[in-house]
A = this chain, B = another copy of it.
Amino acid sequence: MATFKARVLYDFQGEPGTAEMTISAGETLTVTRTDVGEGWWEGLNSKGQSGLFPEAYVEKVTDSNPPNMPAPVLPAQTAEWGEAQQHQEDDWDDDWDDDTYSEIPNNQHPTRESIYSNESSQNRVPYGGQVQPDNVSMTGTNMPVMDSKGTITKKSLNIFSSYVKSGLEGYILGTGKELPVANKKFHIFRESDDILARWEIVSNPYTVQIASPKKTSKMGGLKSFIAYQLTPSFSNVEVSRRYKHFDWLHDRLSNKFNIIAIPPLPDKQVSGRYEEHFIEHRRAQLQEFINYMCRHPVLSTCEVWIHFLTCTDEKQWKQGKRNAERDQLVGANFCMCVEAPDKEILSSIVDPKIDESLNYIVRLDQCIKNLMQTAQDQQKKCVNMYKREFTKIGESFFALGSAFEYNQQGMYSKASVDVKSIGSTYSIIGKLFEEQAKIDWQPLYDKLYIYKGITSDLPDILNLQKLSEQKKKECERTATQQVALADIRRRADVLTYTVFAELNHFQNERDADLRFTMKTFLQEQLNFYKNIVCKLEDTLRQFD
């Protein structure tokens, strides 16, 4: 491939004795290979030295004279990406959410309120001991992309960046700065001799209803947004949350839980956000997100989520927000909150299981995407194609029936009435198709969307386990102190148990929840066809 220039965004210390190369922020590299794998690129620095460096640490230098393009619909906020993360701590109602930027559609330079910025840069213990920014999605390769429907999706992080982000190395080695003691522990049990680990069952399961989104205005109507009302069953106290609050929550959760798959939020929407059907649909999507959260033994009880579900006071909200953002037991260090079985794990048993699971998840992910595609396709076809076909059938019959009315002897024609009623029936069936999509295909799609989010997170989690095992084995080869090695093994085991508990949870969800979803879908399809049968029966009765 052709080489290209890349600017270094963050310092990176190459491991001595390896192919890694030390690079410094601001330096310009010539990238010579991007297919090294696992998030590594190969390049030359200005001194002509060659080596590997993390892709996520550099940004491709784009041509300084951009090609002539039509003006985009959206403000070109990506340029400010790197600068957008300072001084945003107290923005309970600031403009960083999607409700706002469509109201300033021509603002080409939103100064500090970039929607994708994280709100603070916390010091954590990253890979290699460097201080990294919170979110690797700020690099050039992970810019938000707007698709043709006005939906914004973040491209998924690559495995290397999740490794970097997780602080795995620091956790396994027990290096890095001092960490606080966890004030809540999550228990994992072993169910048999097998590696079947599972999370402790939630003692007080609860649900959260998200209801009646309201369009609210502030600043004298200049800004308006949609507020969703959430009512947890354990408190019965309604809290009002906007999409931006969900978005913040999701960032926190993704930041904290690298070993637990976080259900995805509905995609950001640029256009049509105040249309009734969009609002109602987003409510349904957020309900799916909430449902998954509530059913997860860890997620449903974690502090930031409970804070999100319960806080009604602005001051407390800000305090909770700050606490969450300063949380240090994130990434691999979350394992410090986990109480796992004592029994040591044998790599010979675990490794093939992880590989199997990886294959399994990759295939499942593909099949889920495929069914999502079908569901989306059918949804569109119900609204367009099927509706059109049945309407056309209806119109053909109706026209024929109407032609009968022009009876050459002016006689009333029963046949005309009957044939017209066939026409009306098919037109009604056409409308049924249009309405149906919202009832069966869309909920199926929304549920699969959650699972797709999970199945695309799981390979990263499984790979993290592999990297952890790798690190452990590396230590076994080189370690001199037996005590330290036992600790390293234990920490790797806790991580492995966590990964297996997570896999187990996913499997239970899939078997119960996904099955229920399928059943509901089938029931709705059945009702739909029963409805068609009814309409046809009613029409047929006229013929007797």
Contacts and interface: CB of A to CB of B under 8 A. Distances in A.
Interface of A: 194, 196, 353, 356-357, 359-360, 363-364, 366-368, 370-371, 373-374, 377-378, 381, 389, 392-393, 396-397, 399-400, 402-404, 406-409, 411, 413-415, 418-419, 422, 503-504, 507, 510-512, 514-515, 518-519, 521-523, 525-526, 529-530, 532-533, 536-537, 539-540, 543
A515 B414 CA distance: 9
Given A507-B407, A522-B536, A389 B378 contact: yes
A201 to B, nearest CB: 18
A503 B400 CA distance: 18
A442 to B, nearest CB: 15
Contacts of A389: 378, 381
For chain A, what secondary structure do more than half of its interface residues adopt (helix, strand, loop), or is it mixed?
Answer: helix
The 9 closest A-B pairs by CB, nearest first: A374-B396, A415-B515, A367-B400, A367-B403, A357-B408, A519-B543, A371-B396, A526-B536, A415-B511
B532 A536 contact: no
A392 to B, nearest CB: 6
B526 A533 contact: yes
Contacts of A408: 353, 356-357, 360, 503, 507
Instruction: Count this chain's copies in the assembly.
Output: 2
Contacts of A415: 510-512, 514-515, 518
Contacts of A526: 533, 536-537, 540
Nearest to A516: B543
B370 A406 contact: no
Contact of A540 (B418, B419, B503, B522): B522
A14 to B, nearest CB: 37
13 contacts: A194-B409, A356-B408, A360-B406, A360-B408, A366-B403, A367-B399, A367-B403, A368-B400, A374-B396, A415-B512, A415-B515, A418-B515, A526-B536
A6 B360 CA distance: 77
A540 B519 contact: yes
A503 B410 CA distance: 13
B406 A363 contact: yes
A518 B360 contact: no
Contacts of A357: 408
A419 B422 CA distance: 36
A370 B393 contact: no
A406 B529 CA distance: 33
A351 to B, nearest CB: 13
B363 A403 contact: yes
Nearest to A353: B408
A539 B102 CA distance: 46
A55 B138 CA distance: 81
Contact of A404 (B366, B403, B510, B539): B510
Given A374-B396, A422-B522, 8 more contacts: A194-B409, A364-B400, A368-B400, A370-B400, A371-B396, A415-B510, A418-B515, A529-B529
A22 B422 CA distance: 55
Nearest to A409: B196
Contacts of A507: 407-409, 411
A515 B529 contact: no
The residue among A403, A413, A504, A536 with the most chain B CB atoms within 10 A of its own CB is A403
Contacts of A393: 374, 378
Contacts of A359: 406
Contacts of A363: 403, 406
Task: With a 10 A CB-CB cut-off, give which of A359, A363, A374 has the most chain B CB atoms.
Answer: A374
B518 A364 contact: no
A357 B370 CA distance: 57
A14 B533 CA distance: 65
Contacts of A381: 389
Nearest to A455: B403
Contacts of A519: 418, 540, 543
A440 to B, nearest CB: 11
A194 B407 CA distance: 15
A357 B407 CA distance: 8
Contacts of A511: 413-415
B418 A518 contact: yes
Contact of A399 (B370, B407, B503): B370
User: Which of A359, A392, A529 is packed against the most chain B CB atoms within 10 Å?
Assistant: A529
Contacts of A523: 540
Contact of A370 (B368, B396, B530): B396
Nearest to A543: B519
B536 A525 contact: yes
A229 to B, nearest CB: 32
Contact of A400 (B353, B371, B536, B543): B371
